[in-house]
Amino acid sequence: MGERTQHAPGTFSWADLSTTDQDGAKAFYAGLFGWQAQDLPVDENTVYSMQLIDGKPVAAISPQPQQQRDAGVPPVWNSYVTVQSADAAADKASELGGTVHAPPFDVMDAGRMAVVQDPGGAFFMVWEPRQNIGAGLVNAPGALCWNELATPDLDAAQAFYGGLFGWTFTPFGGEQPYFTIQNGDRNNGGMRSPQPGEPPNWLVYFATEDTDASVAKMEELGGTKMIEPFDFPMGRIGIVADPQGAAFAFYAGQLEP
């Protein structure tokens, strides 16, 4: 079990869902993963719903901002990368050709964050932890286990993320180009070309003991299968969308410690 009390800078450390139906999403993921919700008030009308496994935070579910709804932005899982300084990371991202859509801001006493779009068009968040490190459990059933970038220019993405976080990249054999991402000596996600019609994005993976059973359960709960489950050398993957349309993936197989 990958219990965590800290995350090294450059590590994917958190994922949260921005959704048009917070209550519906909470019920869906509770049924799917057994998550327990801990609602934290943001203001008198809004809560940030932490999702727990055995008391350890694994993700969160939040209402989609009205501005995004008005713009027709679909519900989405957001990927967060731990950094020493959100301000320094945002400045560096701009220097490297990224776009800072939300300049660094404090999230009460939990931490400080910024919303960044890479040069290829994919969004991610940087997280400077204070009282909240992010996920207290990873690489376990129902918890975050992988983050995967779909990007139209793999070379440009490697230059950007390598310059921003110090990541390195290793080719992974297969019919289509794929690179694993290393943060120091640890695997930290992957990178591939997008499927036809797929926009640039970071896809969030959650671990499961049985991909096919999880896909079947997900469909029973109202979700949609996007790609038939498939095998690759390390395990079995299923890519799906929740009832509100937010894409994510299941992974059953070898997990990092």
DSSP 33-79: H--EEEEEEEETTEEEEEEEETTEEEEEEEEPPHHHHHTTPPPEEEE
**Among 187, 147, 160, CA closest to 8:** 187
CB-neighbour burial class of residue 13 (10 A; exposed 0-12, middle 13-18, buried 19+): buried
Q: How high is the pLDDT of residue 107?
A: 95
- Residue 121 burial (CB < 10 Å; 0-12/13-18/19+)? middle
Residue 68, φ and ψ in degrees, nearest 5: -70, -40
> What percent of the chain lies above the pLDDT cut of 90?
91
1-257: CATH architecture: Roll (3.10)
The answer, yes or no, to whether residue 44 has pLDDT greater than 90, is no
Q: How confident is the model at residue 173 (pLDDT cuts 50, 70, 90)?
A: confident
Alpha-carbon distance of 9 to 160, in angstroms, equals: 16
Answer with the residue of higher pLDDT: 164 or 44.
164
- Distance separating alpha carbons of residues 184 and 176, to the nearest angstrom: 25
d(CA 28, CA 68): 22
Q: Encode pLDDT of 198-217 as tens digits.
A: 999 999 999 999 999 999 99
Tens of pLDDT, residue by residue over 86-127, are: 999 999 999 999 999 999 999 999 999 999 999 999 999 999
The pLDDT of residue 54 is: 96
Measure the CA–CA gap between 137 and 57, rounded to whole angstroms. 7
pLDDT at 232: 87
Contacts of 56 by beta carbon, 8 Å cutoff, 6+ apart: 3, 135, 136, 137
pLDDT of residue 234: 87
Q: Is the pLDDT confidence value at 229 over 90?
A: yes
Q: Six-digit token pair at 48?
A: 């940030």
How many whole angstroms separate alpha carbon 23 and alpha carbon 30? 11
Which residues touch 111 (CB under 8 Å, ≥6 apart)? Answer: 86, 127, 128, 129, 130, 131, 132
Strands 76-82 and 12-19: antiparallel
**pLDDT at residue 71, rounded to an integer:** 83
Contact present, 39 and 23 (Cβ < 8 Å): no
Dihedral (CA of 218, 242, 52, 251) sign: positive
pTM for the full model?
Answer: 0.97
- Write down the domain spans for the chain: 1-257
Name residue, tokens 């992988």.
146
The tens digit of pLDDT for each residue in 130-164 reads 999 999 999 999 999 999 999 999 999 999 999 99
Give the separation between CA 199 and CA 225, rounded to whole angstroms: 18
Confidence of residue 1 (pLDDT cuts 50, 70, 90): low
Average pLDDT score over the chain: 96
pLDDT at 82: 98
- Summarize pLDDT for 17-30 with one digit per residue, the tens: 999 999 999 999 99
* pLDDT of res. 101: 94
pLDDT at residue 55 greater than cutoff 80: yes
